[in-house]
Structure 1
Amino acid sequence: MPRKRIDLTGQTFGDLKVVGLSDKRGTNNTRLWECKCTCENTTYVLGISLRAGYYTSCGCKHDAKRDKGLVEHIARDRVDGTRKSALKAKLHKGNKSGHKGVRWVESRQKWNANIGFKGKQINLGYYTTKEDAIASRQAGEEKYHRPYLEDENE
């Protein structure tokens, strides 16, 4: 026996107003409802998801909330153009030297040390040994990063 489809045309679910049944298909070949959000975006949703309250907007509210949170985080995290969280970030998975800011430069056959500060990359020099490059990076961290990390601990 075929299931009877409930007509949702014209109904409102949160910020979504159902325009009508679309030709698009969702999971299990189920037809989707075309909905217009208050922000003027169009989205396609399963009827059961609308009726259950899983969808109340096209996602614009989520994006706005996320963007607001990101702006607030950056404002709290940034001091003089330097992100404090980046100073304490873990080693990048692609790092081959095992130390932040130290890399092998094939063209020069030397180790390079650099450090990020106030949105810029500062070259700390090229070294014959990896240990010298690491020492240079650590001295750079003391000079550039330490004052910002000490401010946070107070």
Structure 2
Amino acid sequence: MDLEALLQNMTNMRDLHLALVNISSSVPQSLANFSSLTSLSLSFCNLNGEFPNSIFHLPKIQVIDLSGNKFLTRFLTEFPYGSPLKQLQLSRTRFSGKLPSSIGNLKALNVLNLYLDQNQLNGPLDFQNVSSNLKSPELGGNKLIELFPRPIANLSELYGLV
């Protein structure tokens, strides 16, 4: 399936859910022009290449689920202040590099899944700066340090840590 051709005239789309559809291509940069997009679910689609960082900056994006795309790569970008992102699911991808400190800008974040299968994220993740709505972050297998430099009492919704 050619994802770019499929999306070519759909720039006003709000939700794009193609989970488990065998796309076997890269994510088109043009997806960053979908300023109305609130939810992007492309899990287990056999995506490859570099994910466009500009998608993380879409003004209304609340859900990004790219899980299970073991050939999808990227270094994470800085997250914009005031981002409405609530769910970030990158497990079993090849995202790598330092986790940006600006993850603390995601004040609405309640689902964070960075579980390692292929991820190689590293650096500090200071729970003091992440959303107090975070429920059960999945971080296992990454090289994250300083998970608890200060008490995590501000995570009032936390019910598990993987």
The TM tier, using the shorter chain, reads under 0.3
Larger-Rg structure: 1
**Structure with the higher fraction of residues in strand conformation:** 1
**Structure with the higher fraction of residues in helix conformation:** 1
Q: TM-score, normalised by structure 1?
A: 0.24
Higher relative contact order (CA 8 A, sep 6+): 2
Q: TM-score, normalised by structure 2?
A: 0.24
